[in-house]
Structure 1
Amino acid sequence: MKFAYKFSNLLGTVYRHGNLNFTPDGNSLISPVGNRITVFDLKNNKSETLPLATQYNVTCVGLSPDGNLAILVDEEGAALLVSLISKSVIHQFHFQKPVHSVCFSPNGKKFVVTKENVALMYHAPGKKREFNAFVLDTTYYGAYDETTCIDWTDDSKCFAVGSKDMSTWVFGAERWANLIYYALGGHKDAIVACFFEGNSLDLYTVSRDGALCVWQCDTELDGLKVRPPKDQTEDEAELAEGLDEELMEEQKGKEVHGKASTHKKKEKGKKVKYSCAAKYFFNKEGDFNTLTAAAYHKKIHLLVTGFVSGIFHLHELPEFNLIHSLSISDQRIASISINSTGDWIAFGCAGLGQLLVWEWQSESYVLKQQGHFNSMVSLAYSPDGQYLVTGGDDGKVKVWNTSSGFCFVTFTEHTSSISAVTFTTSGYVILSASLDGTVRAFDLHRYRNFRTFTSPRPTQFSCLAVDSSGEIVSAGSQDSFEVFVWSVQSGRLLDVLAGHEGPISSLCFNPVKCVLASASWDKTVRLWDMLDSWRTKETLALNSDVLAVAFRPDGNELAVASLDGQITFWDHENAVQTGSIVGRHDLQMGRKELDKITAKQSAKGKSFTTLCYSADGQCILAGGQSKFVCIYHVKEQMLIKKFEISCNLSLDAMEEYLDRRKMTEFGSMALIDEGTGDDDNVAIPLPGVKRGDMSSRSFKPEIRVTSLRFSPTGRSWAATTTEGLLIYSLDSSLVFDPYDLEIDITPSSIRKVLVQKEYTKAIVMSFRLNEKKLIQEVLETVPYNEIEVISSVLPEVYIEKMLEFLASSFETSRHLEFYLIWTQKLLMLHGCKLKTRSEKLLPTIQFLQKSIQRHFEDVSKLCDWNCYNMKYIMAISQQRGVKRTAEVSENEDLEDSNNDSVMEELPALP
């Protein structure tokens, strides 16, 4: 089995902190998620988290005008220059201080960074041949407090910087004679945003107290004069400019009159001046509402402002006409962005982890996504691997599409934290257990809670399992130490399994037999025979509290994780232990900021809390309160690979040793409680605390892995962590992995065989070379009427490889019918042979089923839509036909009546 799993996507978290950016075409949205960024393709309905990360949470993102480059800056001021085309890091740089905003000039030649009370202008990378990607051009001073925002003029000649000292500064990006800098006041609170009007030096400034100032400039952009060099006086510069103009006029054959008049000199010496044309207030009713974010579209003159209460306003400038005033939620709007066409507006709420894209003209949502408010606890794959379900501490059950990365349904019926979720074998029913004392069944056809299972006495359910038929569901209690069994069809409680002497920590049904394994803190694993009066079949005794159990996919082996850090393997039929793995040292714990002991000592008390077998049953995934996920080979009982889930130092327990720079003579700086805390930490207000009160507390989230699941297709695995729902998948396109390769098998020799129409030989050779593009070329050259003959003579060794290739091709290729014919012929001709190796081939078959099922759903939707359209067109044409016949009959009646009247008027013939 391959272990080249790489980070593929991040689900469950759509926005954390920082500014949102639309790509230049306006079809994609870039959102910072922790220490990564996610690109939401709104046109194709897909999301992708880039496989790169900063050391701390991303605070600001600067996007180049062409959309090819992005600058990511984290909390500590470390910057990454990223290529959005190759999705790789080009350059690293450190600004040494926290950065507030980054903004590229419209021509893409410069970019400005604001930190502390200065603005730094750099040469943009890629525009000049320079050794260093970040070359400092100019440093601008002026503000007396931290700078907050940047905006450029359309021709990149000037930029404005807002500050917390209630002033806005206009700086020249080049050496202008009549504009070096200009300071604008007029506000009574910190500046949130400043915007230039299109092709003008006119400016809008918005402050935190909800005030908008309109500033008019007496100079046009063309009126900015170039500053002369230091060794040249202004009179000489004017004379040189006048001579140049005279020469130009003479060349054109026109008369030249004297230009050097005193009036002209005065005009040239005039400096740029601003005047406040108007001042508007958003809080006209008198209720104070802090303004937190703003965005402006220069072409359609649309101003969007967001407030701390979740309300946002749309105004038309400069008249300040209110278009809309709506509310997203009761949480603070952290960031706003408008796309290039001005149709879509993106809102980010850090408190809820919410991301919205709103089409303001039609008043409809383009995107409405929200992660779990608190940490995710459990996850499960659907049988075909197409969907993922997650349960969180916020009591919500969310279903995610693995191909698009979007959540398409959220169930909110639970009133307390979710402890476990799972799919039934049909794939259309989700079961969830919660601490509110209920187990609920959700229907994915109608999106409703159709069954609720409860216990005779209220109890908190800590784990859940459903049998392979989908008829029996069981849940374990953590306070009554019992296992409850229900029927899914009737909803009746069938039995209560008692015998454990501690809280039930994990349940698992045997995939083949109707046997239930229950793990408990009483240091035992009990096996219950569901078909024989619910009696205990066997009791497995361990040396420590049991935290997790998992059956192998073939049902012949049981893995058990205990509190002493061991994973033990059992032959449950004979109650014999077959092996064990000591994984405590592989967890490699980190030291928390407030820990009194070292990480090495802390790791002695840690263990694996979640287990999962791989799709073929050869390996096992294990994770716990650590940033590492371990893959062990079961037979060899050895560690194969460790995956580092996160490198985000903004989370707790990430570093092995304490940072001495954060230590004072009184202890760690983390002990100092700063009241409401920073935006990075999670705020926990005390009961009865009002907004902004110093009594609220905050904490630093700790890195941990709460649940692990392998995809039934065997191509990926997922983990619920503090960061979100991480998916790791096989990227086979970058791996050269030949099979039984010989020296004479080359691309040229394969193409020669293909020209000779020896298709079977060419297919075998291409699979031995194992290059995906070459295999695709060979298969698509085969005539469709010869597929059956070639499939019948294809060696049995290559059938599995062929099916796996077809399954992966369905995801990208447009030749749907052609590959379906290949699949049908292979399964029809070799089905009997494949049955003997069904266990090993199961992941491949499920991968194939997932790909075909996805196409089936898409095509069936399209066909239904076309059927409805055809019916509508037929109905409209029939209506028109009836109208036409009615009109024709009316016209014929009129003609007949006219003919009759004419006959009456004619005189009778003699």
Structure 2
Amino acid sequence: MKFAYRFSNLLGTVYRCGNLNFTCDGNSVISPVGNRVTVFDLKNNKSDTLPLATRYNIKCVGLSPDGRLAIIVDEGGDALLASLVCRAVLHRFHFKGAVHSVSFSPDGRKFVVTKGNLAQMYHAPGRKREFNAFVLDKTYFGPYDETTCIDWTDDSRCFAVGSKDMSTWVFGAERWDNLIYYALGGHKDAIVGCFFESSSLDLYTLSQDGALCVWQCDTPPEGLRLKAPAGWKADLLQREGEDEDEDEDGAERETTIRGKAAPAAEEQRGKVQYSRVAKYFFNKEGDFNHLTAAAYHKKVHLLVTGFASGIFHLHELPEFNLIHSLSISDQRVSSIAINGSGDWIAFGCSGLGQLLVWEWQSESYVLKQQGHFNSMVSLAYSPDGQYIVTGGDDSKVKVWNTLSGFCFITFTEHSSGVTGVTFTTTGYVIVTSSMDGTVRAFDLHRYRNFRTFTSPRPTQFSCVAVDSSGDIVSAGAQDSFEILIWSMQTGRLLDVLSGHEGPISGLCFNPMKSVLASASWDRTVRLWDMADSWRTTETLALTSDALAVTFRPDGAELAVATLNSQITFWDPESAAQTGSVEGRHDLKTGRKELDKTTAKHSAKGKAFTTLCYSADGRSILAGGMSKFVCIYHVKEQILRKKFEISCNLSLDAMEEFLNRRKMTEFGNLALIDQDATEEGGVTIPLPGVKKGRCWAATTTEGLLIYSLDARMLFDPFELDTSVTPAQIRAALCQRDFTRAILMAFRLNERKLLQEALESVPWDEIGVISSSLPDVYVEKVLEFLASSFEESRHLEFYLIWTQKLLMVHGQQLKSRVGTLLPAVQFLQKSIQRHWDDVSKLCDWNRYNMQYALAVSKQRGLKRPLEPPGGEEEADAPEDGDGSLRLLRRGPGDADGPLA
């Protein structure tokens, strides 16, 4: 089995901090999620996380006007120039300081970053390969405090910068004679946003205390005059002009512009002048209702403002007419973005991790997503792999669609932290355990809690398990050391299993037999026979506390994770240990800021807290309180691969050694800084589960999914020089389909594979399938499974699948272990189409039954004497339009269809 797993997607967290951006077409939202970036496609209802990560949490993201490039800057000042087309990092740069905002000019030739109390303008990277993509052009000084926001004019001639010193500065992007800089006051608090009017130098400024100032400029943009150079600068610019004629992207010499808050009168003579024409105040609701975010759409003159209370306002400028006001959260609005058409508004609330897209004209949500705002501690895959259920310390249970990446249902019935989640074998029932003393069963058909299992006396449940039939539910108690058994059908308590002398840490049913395995902190694992009065058949003695237990998919082996960093393997029939894995050196834990001991001598986190076998049972996936997840070979008892889950240094315990500069004479700075825990920088366990082609892990950053289905992957299979696209197409022209398909799979290029398979006539698929060697059958099945996700040729690929399984069924049984992931992937794809088609067929069937019932009812009433005579009886009936609908031809477009 291959282990080339790559990061696939990030679920469970939709927004953390930073600014939001809409793509050029206005159909997608770019949201920073910790140290990663997620693109939410609102049109196709999908989310995709870019396969790149920064060292710290992302502070700001700047999007180029054409939507091809993005500058991603983290809290440490490190920047990534990323291509949104090929999803790759093109360049890395360090700004040598914390960056507050970054913005491209509308023409795409420059971009400005603000750090500290200055603004720096860089030449934007071109489309050609460059040694240094970021070339500094000018540095602008003026504000006395940190800068907060940037806005450009439409013609890219000037830009404005807001600051915490209550001033706004207008700078010229070129060497203008009548505008070098201009300082605007008039506010009594930090500037939150500054926006130019469309095709004008008029400016709007907003401060944190809820004040809006309207500034009018006496000069149009066309009135800006270029400053004529003199002396050595003229010669220098002449030489630079000659270089620019040869190369349009040539870099200019860096210059520095220093502004004054109160320039002299002779300096302002003949210059651009600003005057404040109006000042407005937003309605306050409480002393803490500060303005925290703002966005302005120049074409529709729409101003959107967000406040600390979770309220947002829509105003029309310059008249300041209130259009709309709504409360969307009980936390502060951190970021606002408006799409190009001005119809959709995106809001980000970092306190609860919310991301909302609001359509203000229809007053409806386009997107409303929220992750677990507390630790996510457990997860489970559905049997078909289409859904993932997660449970968190925030007492919520969320169900995520693995294809779209969105959460489509949230259950809030629990009143305390959720400790365990699992699916039944049907995949339509979720069973969860919680610290509130209840075990609940949720129905995914009607989205309701249809069973609630309780104990005779109050207790806290730490784990849950369901047998293969889905009728027996078991949960382990953390305080009473008991295991409770319920019936799913009746909801009654069947038995209480006693015998453990410590908290129950894990439960698992044997998939093939009626045996329950329970792990406990009393250093034992007990096997309970469900068919024989729930008696203990075996007791496995361990050398340390048991933390997790799981059965192999065939039920012939048992794996136990213990507190001494070991994974022991047992034969459940003979109760004999068959092997062990030492994971102490594989789980490299970091040192927390408040730890007194070093990471090397610390005992925290050096143990696996969750285990899961692979589909073929040859490997086991293990995770714990570490940033690493390990895959071990069970038989050889060696480490196959180790994955680093996160490299985000904004989280605690990510580094092995602490920075000594944080230690002062007053103690650790983490104890002094009140904002140290604002972002929740505490590591949590990494429970994970593996299902064939992908596996997932719950982490501090969210739900990470690693998959074998990576994009843009070139993996030739038995390739030689005779296999070329021309040879493949020549074989197709000669109708030698088998040779063409074999060569296409050896080249392993998706478009050629699709062309070769779809060239086969449907009535010859059976013959071609029988002529394929067995080694290629698995690859064909994997390609068919991936094709079901995006192709419309459903029946054609179903015929391919049926013929392959019918012809090669006997040979596939001998390699069931290696083919199981491909078959599960195929089943997942077919099941999704089956669900969609079945819903459509049911909808059509109900509509036809309704139409027939209405027509029969009308037919029974027709012999009766109509109230208007015969002429009225022969006229076509109106009513609800059912009869008119049945008689309508295909060309009629109007009429009541719904």
Same fold flag (TM > 0.5): yes
2:764 is matched with 786
Counting only pairs closer than 5 Å after superposition, residues 625-774 of structure 1 correspond to structure 2 as: 625-672=625-672, 674-675=673-674, 677=675, 681-682=679-680, 700-702=681-683, 704-711=684-691, 714-731=692-709, 737=715, 749-768=727-746, 770-774=748-752
Aligned to 2:449: 449
- Match status 1:300 vs 2:281: no
- The letter for the 1-side match of 2:787 is S
Aligned to 1:377: 377
Q: Specify whether residues 329 and 165 from structure 1 end up closer, same or farther in structure 2 by C-alpha distance, changes over 3 A only.
A: same
Secondary structure (helix, strand or coil) at the match of 2:601 reads helix
**Which residue does 2:500 correspond to in 1?**
500
- Which residue number in structure 2 is paired with residue 79 of structure 1? 79
Q: Is the 8 A contact 2:670 2:676 kept in 1?
A: no
Distance in 2, Cα, partners of 1:127 & 1:824: 48
Residue of structure 2 aligned with 1:807, choices 785, 789, 798: 785
Mark the CA change 1:206 to 1:872 in structure 2 (over 3 Å): closer, same or farther. Answer: farther
Deviation at 1:787, TM superposition (A): 1.1
Task: Tell me, yes or no, if the aligned pair for 1:42 and 1:366 is still in contact at 8 Å.
Answer: yes
**Cα displacement (A) at 1:742:** 7.0
Matched, 1:819 2:801: no
Moved more, 739-748 or 788-797: 739-748
Query: Which amino acid is the alignment partner of residue 159 of structure 2?
Result: F
- Using the TM superposition, give the Cα deviation of residue 731 of structure 1 relative to its aligned residue in structure 2, in angstroms: 3.3
| Secondary structure in structure 2 of the residue aligned to 1:760 | helix
The change in CA–CA distance for 1:345 and 1:746 in structure 2 (over 3 A counts) is: closer
Partner of 2:241: none
**8 A Cα contact 1:588 1:603, kept in partner:** no
1:283 touches 1:289 (CA, 8 Å); kept in 2?
no
Moved more, 767-776 or 742-751: 742-751
Q: Deviations over 1:323-371 (max 9, x none)?
A: 1111012111100000000000000000000000000100111000000
Equivalent in the alignment of 1:248 = none
Alignment of 1:509-524 (within 5 A): 509-524=509-524
Contact 1:17 1:680 in 2 (8 A): no
CA change 1:285–1:335 in 2 (3 A) is closer
Q: Rate the CA distance shift 1:285–1:826 in 2: closer, same or farther, 3 A.
A: closer
Are 1:544 and 2:522 counterparts?
Answer: no
Closer/same/farther in 2, CA of residues 742 and 273 from structure 1, 3 Å limit = closer
Cα pair distance change 1:300/1:498, threshold 3 Å: same
Report the CA distance between 1:802 and its aligned residue.
Answer: 2.6
Q: How far 1:595 moved relative to its partner?
A: 1.7
SS in 2 for 1:706: coil
> Percent identity over the alignment?
76
CA distance, structure 2, for counterparts of residue 743 and residue 130 of structure 1: 34
- Residue 332 of structure 2 is matched in structure 1 by 332
Supply the distance in 2 between the matched residues of 1:61 and 1:737 (Cα, whole angstroms): 33
Equivalent-residue separation in structure 2 for 1:22 and 1:297 (angstroms): 12
- The match for 1:210 is 210
Report the CA distance shift for 1:808/1:288 in structure 2 as closer, same or farther (over 3 A): closer
Distance verdict in 2 for CA 1:679–1:120, change over 3 Å: farther
Aligned positions of 1:80-95 closer than 5 A: 80-95=80-95
1:550-629 to structure 2, matched below 5 A, reads 550-603=550-603, 606-629=606-629
Query: 2:481 and 2:316 mapped to 1: Cα distance?
Result: 63
What is the SS of the residue equivalent to 1:100? strand
Q: Provide TM-score, normalisation by structure 1.
A: 0.88
Deviation at 1:561, TM superposition (A): 0.4
Alpha-carbon contact 2:72-2:81 (below 8 Å) kept: yes
Q: Which residue of 2 aligns with 1:58?
A: 58
Partner of 1:260 in structure 2? none
Q: Once the two structures are superposed, what CA deviation does each residue of 1:106-160 show, in whole Å capped at 9, x if it has no partner?
A: 1111111111111111111116886421111111111111111110111011111
Tell me the distance in 1 between the aligned counterparts of 2:817 and 2:581.
Answer: 25
Give the whole-Å Cα distance in 2 for the aligned partners of 1:279 and 1:872: 61
Residue 687 of structure 2 aligns to a residue whose secondary structure is: strand
Q: Deviations over 1:803-828 (max 9, x none)?
A: 22211221232322110111122233
Contact 1:733 1:772 in 2 (8 A): no
CA distance in 1, matches of 2:148, 2:463: 48
How far, CA to CA, are the matches of 1:722 and 1:477 in structure 2?
A: 26
Whole-Å Cα distance in 1 between the matches of residues 617 and 176 of structure 2? 71
Q: Tell me, what secondary structure is at the counterpart of 2:201?
A: coil
Match of 1:365 in 2: 365
- Compared with structure 1, are the counterparts of its residues 605 and 804 closer, same or farther at alpha carbon in structure 2 (3 Å cutoff)? closer
- The residue number in structure 1 matching 2:890 is none
What's 1:249 paired with?
Answer: none
CA distance in structure 2 between the aligned counterparts of 1:569 and 1:635, rounded to whole angstroms = 10
1: CA distance, partners of 2:827 / 2:128: 51
Give the whole-Å Cα distance in 1 for the aligned partners of 2:711 and 2:20. 32
Which residue in the other structure is 1:531 paired with? 531
After TM superposition, the structure 1 = structure 2 runs for residues 249-260 of structure 1, keeping only pairs within 5 Å, are none
Following TM superposition, by how much is the alpha carbon of 1:465 offset from its aligned partner in structure 2, in angstroms? 0.6
Q: Which residue of structure 2 lines up, in the alignment, with residue 137 of structure 1? A: 137
What is the Cα-based RMSD across aligned positions, in Å?
2.9
Aligned to 1:904: none
Does residue 1:9 correspond to 2:5, yes or no? no
Match of 2:891 in 1: none
SS at match of 1:681: coil
Long gaps (5+) in structure 2: 235-265, 876-898
> Does the aligned pair in 1 maintain the 2:521–2:546 contact within 8 Å?
yes
Q: Which runs of 5+ in 1 are unaligned?
A: 235-265, 683-699, 894-910
Instruction: Please say if residues 103 and 112 of structure 2, whose CA atoms lie closer than 8 Å, have aligned partners that are also in contact.
Output: yes
Q: 1:889 to 1:7 in 2, by over 3 A?
A: same
Q: 1:141 to 1:767 in 2, by over 3 A?
A: closer
In structure 1, the residue matched to 2:895 is none
1:99 counterpart = 2:79: no
Change over 3 Å in CA distance of 1:229–1:660 after alignment to 2: same
- CA distance in 1: counterparts of 2:82 and 2:747, whole angstroms: 34
Match of 1:252 in 2: none
What's 1:900 paired with?
A: none
1:40 matched residue in structure 2: 40
Residue 468 of structure 2 is matched in structure 1 by: 468
C-alpha separation in 2, matches of 1:576 and 1:737: 42
* Paired position in structure 1 for 2:244: none
Contact 1:584–1:604 under 8 Å retained in 2: no
Indicate the residue corresponding to 1:846 in structure 2. 824
* Deviation by residue 1:149-198 (Cα, 9 ceiling, x = unmatched): 11011101111111111111111111111111111111111110011110
Distance 2:856 2:792 in 1: 37
- Is the 2:308–2:332 Cα contact (8 Å) retained in structure 1? yes
User: How far 1:23 moved relative to its partner?
Assistant: 0.7
> 1:889–1:552: structure 2 CA closer, same or farther, 3 Å change rule?
same
Pick closer, same or farther for the CA change 1:284–1:57 going to 2, 3 Å.
closer
TM-score by length of 2: 0.89
Contact 1:585 1:603 in 2 (8 A): no
Q: Which residue of 2 aligns with 1:425?
A: 425
Partner SS, residue 835 of structure 2: helix
Counterpart-to-counterpart distance in 1, 2:232 and 2:408: 67
Stretch of structure 1 that moved more, 485-494 or 601-610:
601-610
Distance 1:115 1:773 in 2: 47
Superposed CA offset, 1:841-874 (max 9, x none): 3322221111011122334455566778889999
- Paired amino acid for 1:779: L
* Code of the aligned partner of 2:682: P
1: CA distance between counterparts of 2:852 and 2:205? 57
Which deviations, in whole Å up to 9, do the C-alpha atoms of 1:236-295 show, x marking residues without a partner? xxxxxxxxxxxxxxxxxxxxxxxxxxxxxx9x9732111111111112677662110011
CA contact (8 A) 2:605 2:626 kept: no
Distance 2:156 2:851 in 1: 53
Deviation at 1:671, TM superposition (A): 3.0
Give the 3 Å change call, closer, same or farther, for CA 758–191 of structure 1 in structure 2: same
What amino acid is the match of 1:408? F
Computing the radius of gyration over CA atoms, which structure comes out larger, 1 or 2?
1
- Deviation (angstroms), 1:570: 0.5
Amino acid at match of 1:816: L
Matched pairs, number:
838
Deviations 1:85-122 (A, max 9, x none): 11111111111111111011111111111111111111
